Structure 1
Amino acid sequence: MALLDKVIVVEGKTDKKRVQEVINEPVQIMCTHGTMGIDKLDGMIESLYERPVFILVDADKEGNRIRQWFKQYLSESGHIFVDKTYCEVARCPRPYLARVLRKYGFEVKEEAPVKGLVYR
């Protein structure tokens, strides 16, 4: 796989920052900035063909709307879901997000667990 071959699509800059805090491999992280329209999608989709693309958006109405766009226009994309307890990618505790990303085959940074806390 070429450098930055994998792509994770997130909604905003704070989501991107949170993913960068836990990911431990070269991955391109693209932001939708919360809105999807046909023009924006066309611009993104062209650069995404033939690359492994993962959609990691908030567990809310807007996130679901973005997922639907990708299911329709880039059906081979993978969808990573965060627990509704956290709702927003940016609010996910790092150990939890690392575990979720690891499930999808991403290399993540090892972090000492916080004593007494359990992440689902």
Structure 2
Amino acid sequence: MITYESEKVIIVEGLTDKRKIEKILNENVTIICTNGTLSINRFDELLDTYGLDENEVYIFVDEDKSGIKLRKQLAKELPHAEHIYTSSDYREVATTPYKFLASALVAKHFQVRPFFLI
């Protein structure tokens, strides 16, 4: 297993989601993109590479059909993971306003740049 510096890991669907969340965060957090799907082999690779059984894991995926399916799959494989939700009004993390995302992250005790809470 590769030792990773971060103790917090957020799993998202796409690169756009990752980039948007990275802008908001004000701490070192590993963000993993699944690209919407996750095979058993890919999951095992992520599990080993990022120490998903040992680290704090958060699932932050879209509120659409594929996101809900991925959330269920991840919840089954990572029962200790916490869930962060976007509003079904916005459906996608990438289209959710920064203020809403920042509030959702603060609610899970992430440090965010104060600018995004205004």
TM-score exceeds 0.5: yes
Determine whether 1:9 maps to 2:11. Answer: yes
Q: Which residue of the other structure, out of 5, 19, 22, is the alignment partner of 2:21? A: 19
Q: Which residue of the other structure, out of 96, 101, 110, is the alignment partner of 2:100? A: 96
Trace 1:11-90 onto structure 2 (pairs within 5 A): 11-46=13-48, 47=50, 48-90=52-94
Equivalent residue pairs, number: 112
Alpha-carbon distance between aligned partners in 2 of 1:68 and 1:14, rounded to the nearest angstrom: 21
The gaps in structure 1 that reach 5 residues or longer are: 114-120
Q: Which runs of 4+ in 1 moved over 6 A?
A: none
Report which stretch shifted further, 37-46 or 86-95: 37-46
Q: Deviations over 1:18-40 (max 9, x none)?
A: 10111110000000011111111
Instruction: Work out whether residues 21 and 94 of structure 1, in 8 Å CA contact, stay in contact via their aligned partners in 2.
Output: no
Structure 2-normalised TM-score?
Answer: 0.89
Instruction: Work out whether residues 11 and 58 of structure 1, in 8 Å CA contact, stay in contact via their aligned partners in 2.
Output: yes
State the secondary structure of the residue aligned to 1:7.
Answer: strand
- Root-mean-square deviation (CA), in Å? 1.4
State the secondary structure of the residue aligned to 1:85.
Answer: coil
Structure 1-normalised TM-score?
Answer: 0.88
Larger Cα-atom Rg = 1
Residue 11 of structure 1, CA deviation: 0.4
The letter of the residue matching 1:4 is S
Structure number with the higher helix fraction is 2
